[in-house]
Structure 1
Amino acid sequence: MAQEQSPLTGIIEEDKVVIDFGEFEGKSVLEIADTRPEYYQFLLEQKDSGNFSIRRTKDKIFRLYIHQTFLN
């Protein structure tokens, strides 16, 4: 059976992607979706605008970044 894809992280499970900036640093995308839906919507808007990326770091964790100019 096919797994449902996240609108934000695609094929990577939302609990495996960690925010790497701001007041939510260290929280998973799934946690943000459950507790702060308005911020999750902001992240979706950043993705749609091309201002966002997910990278797998040396520690094997997927980290979500927003381009710095959009955080100021």
Structure 2
Amino acid sequence: MKKSYKNCEVSIITREKKKDIRQNLLKIEIAQELGLWEKIQQDGWGELTAEESGRIGGLLRQRLKK
């Protein structure tokens, strides 16, 4: 969402959006560490196996708890 203030455009990011951005960046970081990022870029997140998705999700949960 953007608001104009005295001829300037200001982006407003809600807490939820910041949380989503943080989670997505962490997911990508974890995928890179696990060597899955190239596969995701080529085929998309939907092509990961349940095991691969579980690894990413488990590590994501651990890091978000910190």
Task: Give me the TM-score of the superposition, normalised by structure 2.
Answer: 0.34
Higher helix share: 2
Higher strand share: 1
